[in-house]
Each structure stands twice: as C-alpha cells, then as structure tokens.
Structure 1
C-alpha cells in the first residue's frame, strides 16, 4: 500500500509540475524584435509579389506569420514617422511634425513602458531624431542620416566611428547585444533600424555589381511628366522629385564628373572611404559611367531626335537608381536572416515577436518619381510583416487598414503591458490572430514639410478601402479625390466629378470626424506652419 501511495503521490507531483510549467509558458512574456528600415517600398519585398527582387529572409516572416497589404503611415517622412512608431500618437500630438521640429523624449513611448515593465531594451541603427534615446538600456544610433561607409554611431551618448558598411555594422552590434550584453533573465526588446535603402543608395562591396545584367521595366506612368500630370492639380506638377530631372549626377548616380565636365559632390563624399573602398566603387561605377557618357553625349547623333535621346537618358537613370536601391536592400535582407538564424539557433523563435516594416513607402519610378512625402499610394503604403508562432498562423494575409500608429499599442498588448491612454493607435493583436473582426474603415494622414527639398505641398487627408480624399493647403487650396479600385495609379482627380458627389460628401464627413477624434484642426496646422516658417526665417538670417 505504501508503494501505491508513493506512486500516486509522485504521479500527482509530475502532473502538478507539468501544469505549472504549462501555465508559466502561457504567461511568459514574448521577446520583441522591431525591424525598421528606411524608405523600403513594399514592392521591393518579394513576398508582395511584384517580382523586382528577392528578399528570402524578410519573406520568411510572411511565410511563417502575417503579411499586411494595406499598412500605411500617418506622415510619410523619416523622423516624424519614427516618432509616431515610438509614441503611438499622430505627429501633431507628439510634436514631431517634420524633420525640423524637436522631439520631446520625455513623453511616453512603448520602449519606456516595456523598460518599466522589466524588459531589457536596446535600439541599434538609425533613428534620425536628435537627443539621447530614452527607454533603452543600450543605444547605438546614427547621428542624423548617417553614412553608408565607415559610419559614426552615438553609443550611449558617446560618438564613435566604425570601419565598414553601415548595414553590416548595425547587424553585427544587434547580434552582439543579443548574444553578450543583454540581461538574459529578462524578456528583451530590440529595435533594429537600418539606414538602407535611404538615398544615396551606396551598396555594400559584395553587391556593387548585382543586377548589372538586369534591365528593369519602368512603371506604366514613368513618363507621367511628359503629360504635365494631366488630370491632377498643382501639387503633382510642382514637386521636385523626378528621376530624370531632379536626381543628381554625383550624389545619386555616382559620377565623379558629370557628362558636361563639371566636378560633382560625389568625389568629396568618397573622402570618407579608405583607399580600398574607393577603388572598389570606382571599379564598379567608373567604366559604366564612361560608357554612358560616350554613348549618350559623345555619340549623341545616333539618336533620331532630342525627345528620343531624353527618353533614353531617363530610362538609363531609372535603371541606375533601381539597381543601386535594390542592391542596398540585399544587405538589409542578409541582416534580417542573421537575426532570424540567431533566434532559431537559440530556441527563441517560438516566443519572439518579430516585426519588419519601414518608416514609409517610396517611389520606384511611379509618376517618374523617387522619394516619398505624398499621400499617394506608393509613399503612403509601407511593408509590414509580423511573425509570432504562438498566435499567428503561417501564411496569414491581412487586407485591412493599419497604420504605424498601431505598432506601439500592439507591442504593449503582446507584452501584457497597459497601453497609455494618450496612445491613439489600435492593437491589432486579436485581429491578426483571427479573434476579432472589428477594425477601422479609414486612416488619417498629414504632411507638413513645405517649402523644403522636393517641394511637396502641405496636405492632409483620409483613405478608405476604396477612396482617398486629400486637401493641399498653405500656398494653394486644392482638393483631390481618387477611386483606388478604378484608378489604382491615381491618375485622375475625381473631386469635381458629379457621379461621385455623394461619396465625396461622405468622405468629407469621415475626414471631419477623424480630425476631431485625433485632435487635429486648422488652428493646429497654422501653429505648426508658423513654427516652420519661423525656422526658415532664422536659417536665412544666419
């Protein structure tokens, strides 16, 4: 009888310990890796199916988790977008409306909340926001835009220079923190921010000749400038972000001397590189640049007319841009792969939430453009891929309207940390897990940095699943409206089309409601405009 009793007691203890272990596993807070690249168009991720390039490591997140097809930003420019990600608040609430206005690090953010809740926290890479990052046990960030080669980093407040390529260095030190420097008794948050593929798209040495044999087909509206942007208003016509007209021979196309014999700023930029690095870049670009000048300038007579020559030069510039842009993304994808391998090799993948996104979208020749800023689809939409094996089914596709505004509350939700009441985004945790079907039917957008580089007018607006309403203001007063189902490339403004009168009225009602909900107004727009103009006046007075 004693042996039976002992056996039952031991059996009970095994079940009790197993139950406790199961409960602990269920309540164990996830590790979090938030990956934010700079200016990464969703079309340049192969999981989205556009066929431009291959990103096998980023694609794993979609294969093993969820891909969001309608992820959008609230303000398509670098520093403001990153401030929205950190705070979960619109630009006009967190104060970082443009790249000029200061950011108040003292306000609440998701890293601060996670740090207070016991997470080990680190930010490594680009943030493009002045001041020492708060909410992080360890920070190693690029000052401003940073450099592709031999970059400076501010390491816990101290400036240091590192030899090598910025994408690789960022990945190396992210892995070092994960492997050696974090408190392994705590769950961790790693904010891993890459500079690439931001302008001026300098590739890593090993990828300098990638895509040399590829001729990229331009978007169908690449020659939109030739039409004078017919069917649209002033804003599209007065921008300064055309690949053919506004990109620079030196900074963007890597010419030491332009086709007209003028020295470019590219030579000065190469001073940062060591002799070996300069030789590698010159070997990659020099012969191709020489061949271009010989064909398009010295033998210009082979072209039938000026218009044909201009088109051919524009297409050459488009291909140089695309090749360099996609080359820098190859290094980003490599870095993602290294971090995912680390999780796999250390049995961390199952309990780590991994998110890949960008601070905004980017134009890859649509309308003839590069850069971002507009509320048009290419810069409004941003990639978003999320993997968390415990809750998200592999191959999940989410078509609803999410924004970078939602990242902060979502991360806190996964970590079981209360979401501060001032955060304006929504957690998509239950939604992506298939536990909820309720979601928003429109998103709100603002853009402030004008007059400035690229000369994109100030504007705000809303987008629904099918329609978009935009108001351009300050030195113009124009409305644009698009039917994204009938006109996905946004080539025809239908604001004054009587057939859409009822829809226009409904969009105006939604716009007014969202502005009230989020706390925006014409008065707030005027306040930030005055601050910006005061800054410009101050700069001119120096």
Structure 2
C-alpha cells in the first residue's frame, strides 16, 4: 500500500513538473512580436484614416481600422536624428545627448533593442536610422547612409563599415529587405522586434517610376493659410526659411532642369545617380509637365499654387510606395499566422507642413510639425476602431515596447508605457508634454525654442537671438494664427502654463544651463565647418 502511495505521489509530481514546463513554453511562445514601422516626415494630414481627405493610404489605414488611432501623438524634438534617438533611448534629447542633426549619438547608452535582445528577442533594424556610428542592439541591421537616396541608395549591413550601393527604388528595397528578414533570416522560435524604417517621404520627394504621373489629372487646393502673412505671430514665424513659394528650389524641390528664366538649376547632377532606364522614365514624365508650366508664364499667387501642387503631388507619390510596402508586410504577417501575436505600430519621426502657413519641413512646435501620426494594432489587447486623444509622445515608445515584452524599463527612461491606455484598462494619463528644438542658426532658420502643451493650450519660448513668448488656444484657434500671450483674458492661463513649464523642465532635468551648453557645442561645430570650408 505504501509503495502504491509513493508511486502515486511520484506520478503527481511528474505531472506537475511537465505541466509547469508546458506553461513555461507557452508563456515564452506567447511573447508578442513587435513590428515598428517609421516613415520620415509623414504628416498625419496625409494619412486617410485621419480624415483630412488629402490622401488615400488604405494599407496604413488597416492598422487603425483593426486597432487604434492616436489623434494627439506628438514628438519631443521635431527633427530627424534626435527623434530616432528619443525612440531608442526613451529619453529627452538633452539627456541622451542627440539634440540636433550635428551632435554625435552615443550608441553605448542603454536602448530598448539591447534590453529586448538580452531577454530572448531577436531584433532587426532595416532602413533609415540617421545616427552616426555602428547600430547597437540589433541581431541584424541594414541601414541607409545618412539621409539616404531615393534611387540606387547605399546601405551598410551589420555594421560592416562598408557601404554597398543597391540598384532600385529605396522604399521598395527597404520593404523587400524587411520581408526577406521576416521570411528567411529570423529564428522562428524566438519572438522578434523589427524596426522597419522608410526614408520616404523626406525631402526632396522623388517618386518611384510607376508613380511619376500619379495625380497629373488632379489639382489640389492649398490650405486656407497657405499665403499667411504671419500677422499676430512673433519673429520666429516671420523669419523662417521654409516657404514653398519662396524658399523651395526650382531644381532640388520642383524638379526643373532649367528654371523659368532659362538658368540651369543643378538638378542634372541629381539625375546622375539614376541608371539609364530610370533617367529615361523620369525625363519622359517631368519634361512635358515642366514645359507646360513655363509656357503659362505664371506669376504671383498662381505661380505659388503651381509650386504647392508640384510639392504636394511629389510628396503624396512617395507615400504611395510606403503604403504599398505596409500592405505587403501586413499581408505576410497574416499569411504566416503571425497577425494575432504581432504588435504593429505605424508612425513618423515627426509631423510635417503640407502648405500650412505656406511651409514645408517641420522643426516648430506648431501643430503640424509637433504632432505625428500613430496607429497601433494588437488583436489580443486593442479593440478595432479605438481612438486615443491623450498626449502620447515618441518618448513613450521604448517603455511601451518593454512593457509588452514583459521587461521592466530602466529608471532612466523618461517616457511612460501606453499599453494600458490603448487597451482601455486605464484612462489615467499625463496632462501636459514638454518640447525642445535646438538646431539654429541652420537650414530653414527655425529659431531655438522650448515649450509646454496641454490638451487645449500651448506655450513656447523662442530664445538665442530673440527672447519672445508665444501662446495659443487650440480650441478657438486650431491653426495657431493668433499669439495670445499678452491677451489679458488669458492671464491666468498664461500663469498656469508658466508653472507647468517649469515643473516639466525640472521633472525631466532640463535647464537654461543645458540650453547654453548645447548652444556652445553647436556653434563650435559650425565654426569648425566654416574654417574647413575656408581652408578648401
């Protein structure tokens, strides 16, 4: 009898052990995959899910339709490289050190891919990262050289130190490489975290050959404030150099070989990168359009509207290829049975001006630059058609990904996980966000500034060569056309925003000393460049 009891106990213990092993194996296999898709300068206005009627992005929209759309997602610093540094580190620019496109980035500091690697994830980074040095935290990397080229770009694979030119269209190459990694290079027994980063639609908006004539039969109306005179704003808005009708270039931006006055534009040099067929297709598409414009001898506002249309059509044409690629990757996830357990995120490194205030580019804390698209799909936790109106920032990506992976975010990360927010488990969230911008004097001449934004109001301080404050009520003035900083009716709001601004600067560890330190580093770098050019 005793032997029977002992045997029964052993069987029970063995059952418990194997059951526990089975649960462990299931838990490990249930770790969600993460596919993070980031384009460059993709304005939320140019994603049809946002309802502006400007563009059609059916594949990107699928993420929102089957998941969540964030209406007030924003960035901490609206410029390419710093935005990516914030993504990786979960820290503000003045903490991770990458405050502008000039300062070096320290890859040795902790980032979320390194932590995921250390916890059983397979990681990959394909496309644009725009951070100098060898990428760290990735089992596989294939990164563009600097900003990258639309046609026949160079890539570096796995930090080899060698740049290899690949013939083809950049957006398609990145998509094909991402699919190749997902299908053939990753370990299917491990969860993955893949960063799929497009160059498009970054300036100067060169479309793929198949889309060179897309929208030729359509005329776009510019935004209502396209011919903005900047009355009621400060020096920063008036002294920028990013007007479509004024600062954009005949060759580089509008794709003319000869300008309306008969002068070479230099665009011929850009075509030297093209192979014979690419060049032939390009000239066949653009020469008749350019000749027709010059024959009209447009002046004044009519010429300004033509420039807007050339800009917006090329911009949207490049997005068409991005949307195609998103569709291909989403289709693969479904076909491979990965859809249910893969978190898919689509975003941009910042927002972009599509003619608002007459501008292209970004940099300002004004809405079109400050806000960025954010769409997230995860069938296990996020209900289809979810809308999130809270102030989520790119600062929050790293802690959110770590949260989904079951990894504790290090204390030095300054963002917050929005996992419970987007799943509906918790509606508590921050009531304000902090912003900084440092790269001045430089291209586009957007002045240095920092500021605070709440759900309704925004306060900005422009400094260095000026000392000006601006404040806006987004409820009554969503286009930010009237600076109300000195309006007596908003005196209490102004006081409250100043208090909130100081609280956030203190909370995140920013200060006037930081501003001066990074200003000195930037000016020293500019002086070195000046001396180098003079010596040449």
Question: Which residue of structure 2 lines up, in the alignment, with residue 421 of structure 1?
Answer: 411
Question: Which residue of structure 2 lines up, in the alignment, with residue 118 of structure 1?
Answer: 120
Question: Which residue of structure 2 lines up, in the alignment, with residue 241 of structure 1?
Answer: 242
Distance 2:504 2:126 in 1: 34
Question: Which residue of structure 1 lines up, in the alignment, with residue 207 of structure 2?
Answer: 203
User: Is contact 2:29-2:190 (8 Å) kept?
Assistant: no
Residues 104-115 of structure 1 correspond to what in structure 2 (within 5 A)? 104-115=106-117
Residues 4-403 of structure 1 correspond to what in structure 2 (within 5 A)? 24=26, 28-156=30-158, 157-224=161-228, 228-296=229-297, 309-403=299-393
Of 430-439 and 19-28, more deviation after overlay is shown by 19-28
**Secondary structure of the structure 1 residue equivalent to 2:216:** coil
Question: Which residue of structure 2 lines up, in the alignment, with residue 446 of structure 1?
Answer: 436
Q: Residues 483 and 188 of structure 1: is their aligned pair in 2 closer, same or farther, counting only changes over 3 Å?
A: same
Distance 2:293 2:221 in 1: 19
The CA deviation at 1:24 is 2.1
The CA deviation at 1:260 is 1.1
The CA deviation at 1:20 is 5.0
Question: Which residue of structure 1 lines up, in the alignment, with residue 5 of structure 2?
Answer: none
User: Is contact 2:126-2:174 (8 Å) kept?
Assistant: yes
Distance 2:236 2:199 in 1: 28
The CA deviation at 1:263 is 1.0
The one-character-per-residue Cα deviations of 1:382-420 (angstroms, maximum 9, x if unpaired) are: 000000111000110000000000000000000001101
**Secondary structure of the structure 2 residue equivalent to 1:350:** coil
Distance 1:471 1:96 in 2: 21
Distance 1:39 1:82 in 2: 12
The CA deviation at 1:159 is 1.3
Choose which of 489, 509, 516 in structure 1 pairs with 2:479. Answer: 489
Gaps of at least 5 residues in structure 2 are 1-10
Q: Residues 387 and 18 of structure 1: is their aligned pair in 2 closer, same or farther, counting only changes over 3 Å?
A: farther
User: Is contact 2:69-2:374 (8 Å) kept?
Assistant: yes
**Secondary structure of the structure 2 residue equivalent to 1:353:** strand
**Secondary structure of the structure 2 residue equivalent to 1:471:** strand
**Secondary structure of the structure 2 residue equivalent to 1:61:** helix
The CA deviation at 1:334 is 0.5
Distance 1:153 1:313 in 2: 38
The CA deviation at 1:25 is 5.3
The CA deviation at 1:507 is 0.2
**Secondary structure of the structure 2 residue equivalent to 1:515:** helix
- Give the length in aligned residue pairs: 518
User: Is contact 2:126-2:142 (8 Å) kept?
Assistant: yes
Distance 2:485 2:186 in 1: 54
The one-character-per-residue Cα deviations of 1:319-366 (angstroms, maximum 9, x if unpaired) are: 000000000000000010111011000100000011000000000000
Q: TM-score, normalised by structure 1?
A: 0.93
Distance 1:25 1:394 in 2: 25
**Secondary structure of the structure 1 residue equivalent to 2:364:** coil
Distance 2:121 2:506 in 1: 35
Distance 1:267 1:414 in 2: 49
Distance 1:61 1:19 in 2: 35
Distance 1:447 1:106 in 2: 24
**Secondary structure of the structure 2 residue equivalent to 1:431:** helix
Distance 2:153 2:530 in 1: 30
Gaps of at least 5 residues in structure 1 are 1-8, 298-308
Of 111-120 and 91-100, more deviation after overlay is shown by 111-120
Q: TM-score, normalised by structure 2?
A: 0.94
Distance 2:436 2:138 in 1: 29
Distance 2:410 2:243 in 1: 42
**Secondary structure of the structure 1 residue equivalent to 2:245:** helix
Choose which of 464, 468, 481 in structure 2 pairs with 1:474. Answer: 464
Distance 1:214 1:443 in 2: 39
Distance 1:499 1:348 in 2: 55
Distance 2:331 2:177 in 1: 15
**Secondary structure of the structure 1 residue equivalent to 2:131:** coil
